[in-house]
Amino acid sequence: MRNLITKFIINIYERIFQEKITPNAQLFIKNLSYITIGYGVAAFSIFAFQILGGRILGPIEYGKYVLVDSLALFLYLFMLLGTNTAIVKYVSEESDYKKQRKIISTVYLIFISASLLSVIFFSFLSSQFSKLFSVDLIIFRLSIIFALIYSFYIMAIDTLRGLHEMKRLSIFRACYGVLALLIFGFFLVNQYISFKSLVFSICCAYLIIFIFIVLMLRKYFSFQFDKLLAIKFLKYGFFVAIGSLCFAFLPSFSKILVNKYLSTANVGIYNAYYFSSIGVIIFLSAVFITVFFPAISRRKHKKPIFKKIRQLLPYLFLLGIPILFAIEIIILRLYGPEYPLNYLLIFLFAIVGILIGVYGLYNWIFCSYGISGVKISTMVAILTASINILFSLYLIPYIALYGAIISLGIAYFSGIVGLLFFKNRILHISKAKQNINYE
């Protein structure tokens, strides 16, 4: 199976870029094939999980789960502070075990401290935050638990990424998806049909995988805390956290405003469209970025990567939009009659899905340049989030779900333009640093 996937990817690579594959590219594709299998199993399981949840619970209860998930994706960023991206970048650059151990131990101590402080802060002010986001108190409190467990899971799998343990990562990712589906099935058999059953199923799966990964990597953990490294990671993580906050906040903010101006049922319907289009793109991007980011972080010369992405763009838009359009129709039909088909909305979600994929590619390249690159990506992310907020506040009350997706599309298009505007600047900074190191 893996060999077939590897040959297929190599064939596509050589057809698009009109060149023979290099040894580094072959290693990248080998790792990508591992991840594709594991993430594919997880995707199938989570696909079934989401469809079953949407059909059985209905738009209202499913909408409540979506709100918990959306708020958790906002809250967990305060717990991680971008340290998960720092661990991928800086561990992947090192081959010495002692240095890797010191980096991992330092990052985990920062992460645990930040998580505890965040939980205390958000729990203490949960009533105020629930009113701010216009959600029930129980939904906000569940989102805090969800965010905490999710942050532990993300830190664990990103540690594997930093160590280039792609085969193991693939296995654990597959196990996560299967576990979530099995636990949800257990709740259904026992007639516990509520949005909480979706939340608890995902949380249990995350927690089990986290425990197994930590036990497997226990030799990398100690009480070593390097103050200079901590400052470096916090500085890098600070900009990543702001950028991630803006990036994660875009779709979450749209769902929160849909809940505020429309209804919880509309949140469920919006998420069905989101999951069947943007969710598919995010999954495919996650598979690629899981291998792509550690690989490019190790490379000193990144200019050819920009050229290859430029060659890839026409294929992404000309083939991606119609394929995604067809996938959306199939998935939405599986959701059931309570989730109506709107072909214009489907088309808009397909366009925005591709824009998000392109934005993600460029964003991770900038992050691979270290602090100088992540500063630029953060600045662009703030601009992108600001545009989305302004357009969402204006359009959603007037044109409902159309306003939410159009706002998202305008925001991500602006983000791509912003990153391309700064491309020459980051290449110049990188070249200057290489010259200094050479001298």
Please check the confidence at residue 3 and state whether its pLDDT lies above 70.
no
pLDDT of residue 264: 76
pLDDT in tens, 322-366: 999 999 999 998 888 888 899 999 999 999 999 998 998 888 888
Please check the confidence at residue 436 and state whether its pLDDT lies above 50.
no
- Residue matched to tokens 């990817």: 9
**Residue % of the chain over a pLDDT of 90:** 28
Chain-wide mean pLDDT for the chain?
A: 83
Please check the confidence at residue 135 and state whether its pLDDT lies above 80.
yes
Task: Give the span between the Cα atoms of 210 and 108, in whole angstroms.
Answer: 13
Q: Identify which has the larger pLDDT, 350 or 103.
A: 350
Q: Please give the structure tokens belonging to residue 23.
A: 């040894």
Of 12-16, 105-109, 180-184, 356-360, the one with minimum mean pLDDT is 12-16
Task: Give the span between the Cα atoms of 376 and 401, in whole angstroms.
Answer: 31
pLDDT-derived band at 250 (thresholds 50, 70, 90) equals low
The model's pTM: 0.73
Please check the confidence at residue 439 and state whether its pLDDT lies above 50.
no
Q: Identify which has the larger pLDDT, 93 or 434.
A: 93
Instruction: Read off the pLDDT of each residue in 25-33 and give the average, rounded to a whole number.
Output: 67
Task: Give the span between the Cα atoms of 339 and 58, in whole angstroms.
Answer: 9
Instruction: Read off the pLDDT of each residue in 241-260 and give the average, rounded to a whole number.
Output: 71
- Residue matched to tokens 């992540």: 374
**Long-range contacts made by residues 32-35, C-beta under 8 angstroms, separation at least 24?**
32/287, 32/288, 32/291, 33/2, 33/3, 33/5, 33/6, 33/9, 34/2, 34/166, 34/167, 34/169, 34/170, 35/166, 35/169, 35/170, 35/173, 35/287, 35/290, 35/291
Please check the confidence at residue 432 and state whether its pLDDT lies above 60.
no
Instruction: Read off the pLDDT of each residue in 250-271 and give the average, rounded to a whole number.
Output: 78
pLDDT in tens, 381-422: 888 888 988 998 889 888 988 998 999 999 999 999 998 888
pLDDT of residue 148: 95
pLDDT of residue 125: 92
Cβ atoms of residues 194 and 139 within 8 Å: no
Highest mean pLDDT among 5-9, 286-290, 331-335: 331-335
Task: Report which of 210, 247, 191 is spatially closest to residue 56, judged by C-alpha positions.
Answer: 191
pLDDT-derived band at 222 (thresholds 50, 70, 90) equals confident
Instruction: Read off the pLDDT of each residue in 48-55 and give the average, rounded to a whole number.
Output: 86
Please check the confidence at residue 271 and state whether its pLDDT lies above 90.
no
DSSP letters of 35-82? HHHHHHHHHHHHHHHHHHHHHHHHHHHHHHHHHHHHHHHHHHHHHHTT
Instruction: Read off the pLDDT of each residue in 4-12 and give the average, rounded to a whole number.
Output: 57
Sign of the Cα torsion 266, 271, 276, 282 reads positive
pLDDT-derived band at 212 (thresholds 50, 70, 90) equals very high
Task: Report which of 221, 187, 220, 218 is spatially closest to residue 203, judged by C-alpha positions.
Answer: 187
